[in-house]
Amino acid sequence: MHILKWVLFGVLLAVLVAEASTTTVAPVCVEEDRASLMSFKARIVQDTTDILASWTGRDCCNGDWEGVSCGMTGRVTKLQLQRPEKNSEMFMKGTLSAALGNLQFLEVIVISGMKHISGSIPESFSALSRLTQLVLEDNGLGGTIPSSLGHLSSLQILSLSGNHLRGQIPPNIGNLVNLLQLNLAKNSLSGPIPQTFKAFPSLQYFDLSFNEFSGSLPAHVGQFKNLTYLDVSNNQLSGPIPTAIFSLPKLLDLLLSNNKLTGTIPVQIEGLKSITTLSLSGNQLRGQIPASISKLQNLWNLNLSRNGLSNPLPTILVSSIPSLLTIDLSYNSFVFGTVPGWIRNKQLSEVHLAGCGLRGALPIFRVSDSITSIDLSDNHFTGRISNFMKNMSSLQKLKLSNNQLRFSLSELKLPDVFSSLDLHSNQIYGSLSNILNRETSGFLEVIDVSNNQITGAIPEFTSGLGLKVLNIGSNKISGHIPSSISNLGELIRLDISRNQIQGTIPTSIGALKKLQWLDLSVNSLTGKLSNTLLAIPRLRHANFRANRLCGKIPQGRPFNVFPAAAYAHNLCLCGTPLPPCREAEEWKL
């Protein structure tokens, strides 16, 4: 019996020893790494995210230091500091400490969305030989990209987008052969795309958009066979589109818009077997759209607007480009006459054909209930609108400006999800109450019916409206400005100029805290400019010209720094920027 007890005890002891040997002991932060992190914290002079408030105590690896992760040896491996949400009140202010370069076991740095972290990228980062991710997005960093970053041979993700970086890309960034993502968008970088960008065999994501790059788009981009996303839009790139790009088998998004690219759209475009989004808008492309574009089986978003493309369109069957959902051919040299049948008969969500030489009555789309956005402005359409909008139950945005349409606003039946209406410069009549009433959708954000023949008064505004733009200028609207305009708390732009509005300017306009543009010119408004207008903090433009206003202009910014022309041709306005009020006038005021 005693022998059995000792055997059982021995087995139990062996189990306990084995369990103890496999129990994970939390690593203790190495003092050198803690000191580097504290040096970073010391350079941050303001932290409204409260992330750094958790950096207390001696052990940075105990899990309490927010954004800090450690390996088994107590060395810091990850530093991830991201703004919790898109809120301008949440940020860090300061500079990046060079001491971060002493975190020799660091594999990941993510410091993004802080906006007020400024200064340059420390050269010391080049010592982080284990670094696989360097993400410094949406901060306030300036200076140039350190060429020493080209020494980080393990780097897989390099993202410096959304800063104030300038100068050229260092050529030795091309040494980073393990890169999967390269994102330098939204900076002020210039010069050519380096010729050294040839050896990126694994690159999947390449974004240089919204910079000032010039020169040609290098043909060697066509060697990035694993590329799925290519965006060099909004630069100053010139020359033809290299045909090598159209041999990228995995490319899903090709965005070359808003450059100075010339030549034609190559017929080799059919080589983009996987492409879903193709945007070549805002360039100087000429000639015809190649028929080979109809072979793009996965294409759902096609934008060729604002070029010099011309007739004829290739013969495209309704069954061609089967995945297409959005198309924009606006502002080329097309003269279509009528909307091409394959576009009218296709199930699309967005149809933008502005400035395409279209005539006659508005077209009827066969599958109209799928359309969410339509732009047929700057054409020559005539007639009414009632049949056109039939069954457009999903429509959110409608733009028919600069045509010769003639109909009553009472014919408009806006769907519940509707958000933006632009009918300016037509021959539309009727009353605003047809589109601004208690049934008006709470989604409605933009109304522009300026330069028409609309009559009647401005209706009362109910609470809950989310209007951001209201432009009813250049009509025949009479009556007064209702004091309920203060219910438009989201309003950014208000234009009621060139009408027949009478009465005084309601003091409640001062409640429009988001207003940036105000134009009340060329009406018959009387009374004075109330000092309550000074309560509009974001106002950048105001025009009160050609009314019957009298009295002292509010003496505070921006009203006393607007040009005198903004107050000209009134009854007796005075005070800066106009001549000072005389004593008699001051007494009357």
Residue 178's pLDDT is what?
95
* Residue burial 185-198, b: 16+ Cβ < 10 Å; e: rest: bbbebeeebeebbe
| Coil vs helix vs strand at 573 | strand
Kindly state the average pLDDT of the residues 352-360: 97
Which tens digit of pLDDT belongs to each residue from 303-331? 999 999 999 888 887 888 999 999 999 99
Torsional class of 369: left (φ above 0), alpha (ψ -120 to 50), beta (otherwise): alpha
pTM of the model: 0.89
What letters, b where the CB count within 10 A reaches 16 and e where it falls short, cover 483-516?
ebbbbbeebbbbbbbbbebeeebbebbbbbeebb
Nearest 5 degrees, angle CA 142-CA 220-CA 293? 105
Cβ contact 155:135 at 8 Å: no
380 has a pLDDT exceeding 50: yes
Burial class (CB in 10 A: 0-12, 13-18, 19+), 537: exposed
270 CB neighbour count, 10 Å cutoff: 17
Does 28 have pLDDT greater than 90?
Answer: no
The pLDDT of residue 345 is above 90? yes
3 state DSSP class of 236: strand
Per-residue confidence (pLDDT) for residue 284, from 0 to 100: 98
In terms of pLDDT, which residue wins out, 299 or 440? 299
Set out the domains of the chain in order of their start, with CATH numbers: 26-189 (3.80.10.10), 430-588 (3.80.10.10)
pLDDT on residue 2: 42
Answer whether 477's CB lies under 8 Å from 451's CB: no
What per-residue confidence (pLDDT) applies to 9?
41
- Is residue 337 helix, strand or coil? strand
Distance CA 75, CA 93 (A): 26
**Integer Cα distance of 414 and 421 in angstroms:** 9
What are 260-287's pLDDT values in tens digits?
Answer: 999 999 999 999 999 999 999 999 999 9
- Determine the pLDDT at residue 584: 53
Q: Are 471 and 450 in contact (CB under 8 A)?
A: yes
Which among 261, 255, 210 is positioned nearest to 237, based on CA atoms? Answer: 261
